[in-house]
Amino acid sequence: MEEYSAWIQSEVSAFNNLKYKKIERPPVSENEILIETKAATLNFADLLLSSGMYQSNPSVPFVPGFEVAGIVREVSEGSRFKVGDRVVGATTVFRSGRYGSFGELCISSENLTYKLPDKISFEAGAAILMAYLTSDFALVRRANLQKNETVLINAAAGGVGLSAVQISKNMGAKVIAAVGSEEKKLLVSKYNPDLVVNYQEENLKEVIENNFGPKPIDVFYDQVGGEAYENGIRLLRSEGRALIVGFASGNIPKQILSYLLVKNISVMGVFMISFENQNRDYLKERMDFIFEEYIKNNIDPIYKTIKFNEIVKYLDLIGSRKTVGRIVAVI
């Protein structure tokens, strides 16, 4: 049986128990693609997955890694891809699969895999994929963000947050970016948001309302949860929309139902993966649009490339909130 090397999680525990060793080549099932990994993006969700805190958990042993850019090596019958195609894709780890992108090979979902234009490198493709597709799905489809509306983006210096800043600006919205350090404030400022607030040093509510008036937010983009979510909700104007993108704080907030009721606020979940089967053509259309935006220099992902043997080190830095943009491991 053919083997390949991968970072393997042999038990549900901390991510630093990952071991780099040989594993049998994974089988390819219906609607799946075997990809030779060229670049793999690190996510906070990888930390949750390794510790058993993600919403779907594969059986052990498994290989983490949600996103991949690489070359198609095997397809299932009836696939729209062929061996040799350059692609980006979401691995089946999203739905309890065991063969993520932290290996020389991985399994992606056919419906969440997209051809990568020749003009885009594997590294850039990996950095773009889920960050920009998630933010596009959240802001365009879920929130229906309009020109001149005001959007508050939590954790704006991360890969997903920066994508939300850029997409919101491109849509003509007023953007308020919330970050946790002066270094991150400086970085995000390069993308010309209308206001950047360091919530560690400044009072978020006071700064925003001093600049925009009371409760000025139309759309609140939150991937943090916990206290940060509650603070953002209370800045929404009547009929505002809150986008729930993730819970990076590890704290799933309780809804302030009385406030949502009297302010007619809509709370919207953002889990693009659920569109895998019901609307894959829509996601492909949006991914193609995002790639075109990148080629035209209308979006600019910030990412750092690392060696594959540095994955555990950088997962630790992600968990400590010491990274900006996206981290992409290259084989």
Q: What pLDDT digit, counting tens, does each position of 197-207 carry?
A: 999 999 999 99
Q: Which of 250, 269, 288 is the last residue of a domain?
A: 269
* Domain annotation covers residue 136: no
CA atoms within a 13 Å half-sphere pointing along the CA-CB vector of 281: 0
For residue 231, give the CATH number of its domain.
3.40.50.720
Phi, psi torsion values for 191, nearest 5 degrees: -95, 10
Residues 205 and 295 in one domain: no
Residues 248 and 285 in one domain: no
pLDDT single digits (tens) 143-187:
999 999 999 999 999 999 999 999 999 999 999 999 999 999 999
* Domain annotation covers residue 189: yes
Report the residue count for the chain.
Answer: 331
Residues 158 and 68 in one domain: no
Structural domain range at position 261: 147-269
Residues 263 and 280 in one domain: no
Residues 16 and 81 in one domain: yes
Query: How many domains are there within the chain?
Result: 2
* Domain annotation covers residue 168: yes
> Which residues have CB under 8 Å from 107's CB, separation 6+?
26, 28, 32, 33, 34, 35, 91, 92, 97, 99
In the predicted structure, residue 230 carries a pLDDT above the cut 90 = no
Residues 123 and 8 in one domain: yes
Phi, psi torsion values for 93, nearest 5 degrees: -55, -30
Assign 48 a pLDDT band (cuts: 50, 70, 90): confident
Residues 117 and 10 in one domain: yes
In the predicted structure, residue 248 carries a pLDDT above the cut 70 = no
* Domain annotation covers residue 140: no
Q: Which of 225, 245, 269 is the last residue of a domain?
A: 269
Q: How far apart are CA 274 and CA 95, in angstroms?
A: 10
In the predicted structure, residue 124 carries a pLDDT above the cut 70 = yes
Residues 183 and 226 in one domain: yes
Residues 48 and 117 in one domain: yes
pLDDT single digits (tens) 26-38:
999 999 999 999 9
In the predicted structure, residue 307 carries a pLDDT above the cut 90 = yes
Judge contact between 231 and 205, C-beta under 8 A: yes
In the predicted structure, residue 247 carries a pLDDT above the cut 90 = no
Residues 226 and 322 in one domain: no
- The reported pLDDT for the residue numbered 250 is 59
In this prediction the pTM is 0.94
Q: Left, alpha or beta for 31 (phi > 0: left; psi -120 to 50: alpha)?
A: left
In the predicted structure, residue 13 carries a pLDDT above the cut 90 = no
- The reported pLDDT for the residue numbered 226 is 76
pLDDT single digits (tens) 50-84:
887 777 778 889 999 999 999 999 999 999 999 99
- Percentage of residues in the chain with pLDDT exceeding 70? 98
Q: Residues 39, 45, 47, 50: is their CA dihedral positive or negative? A: negative
pLDDT single digits (tens) 249-277:
656 777 778 888 889 999 999 988 887 77
* Domain annotation covers residue 186: yes
- The reported pLDDT for the residue numbered 285 is 96
Residues 41 and 108 in one domain: yes
* Domain annotation covers residue 141: no
Residues 116 and 168 in one domain: no
* Domain annotation covers residue 139: no
In the predicted structure, residue 217 carries a pLDDT above the cut 90 = yes
- The reported pLDDT for the residue numbered 54 is 79
Nearest to 143 by CA among 67, 215, 245, 51: 245
Mean pLDDT (the chain) is: 93
In the predicted structure, residue 1 carries a pLDDT above the cut 80 = no
For residue 282, give the CATH number of its domain.
3.90.180.10
